[in-house]
Amino acid sequence: MDVTIIDLLRHGECQGGEIFRGTTDVELTDKGWRQMQVSSACESAPWQQIITSPLKRCALFAEQLAAQHQLPCTRHQDFAEISFGDWEGCLVSDVEREQGENLKKFWHSPTTNTPPNGEPMVAFSDRLDRGWQSLLADYRGQHLLLVNHGGALRVLLTKILSMPLDAIVQLDVPYACFTRVKIYHSNGRSDWSQLVSHNTSIEMLG
């Protein structure tokens, strides 16, 4: 039986404060950079490939980490964060004050309440699933690192754990969160996934 291991690393703290960041392409703060360094620090990297969202808060760190360990690094468009439409770049507090009822509906049921001109959650989920399936097809049996976003990682975790998509609001994925997943492949049968660890560091996993 082939086993694919995928480590998931969320980006660290970003410039711009508490905003709807989505596709807004900002860089990490110095603190955010240090947070990711702590979560991914290892003398000998176990990965064969590093895959990253194309957005700078993920990609710049991923590419430096790949260079440090002499690994290939690929920016994958399907792993970009969701677009919040008209809320993009706005302070969460401002949206809460001006569109509080709409925001409450979005937090309660994101699959049926899309921000104005935003990307529907179901479409976002389908895009991520397409990217995930491409990883499993292209890198079967390898150990990968996927550097990604809070919203994207929550959606991926609902898929891995067979949870309803609206359950993303129940999953805590803090800055620089490090998660490990194993996918077991068996010829003639469906793959099955196992959550090995969540919100730890590669050093703790050994």
Q: What is the pLDDT of residues 72-112, one digit of tens each?
A: 999 999 999 999 999 999 999 999 999 999 999 999 999 99
Q: What is the pLDDT of residues 11-58, one digit of tens each?
A: 999 999 999 999 999 999 999 999 999 999 998 899 999 999 999 999
Q: Tell me how many helices (H) and strands (E) the chain has.
A: 7, 6
Residue 186 has what pLDDT? Answer: 83
Confidence of residue 4 (pLDDT cuts 50, 70, 90): very high
Whole-Å CA distances, 115 to 23, 25, 82 = 13, 18, 11
Q: Which residue has the tokens 């050093």?
A: 203
Q: What is the pLDDT of residues 64-73, one digit of tens each?
A: 999 999 999 9
Contact 20, 88 (CB under 8 A): yes
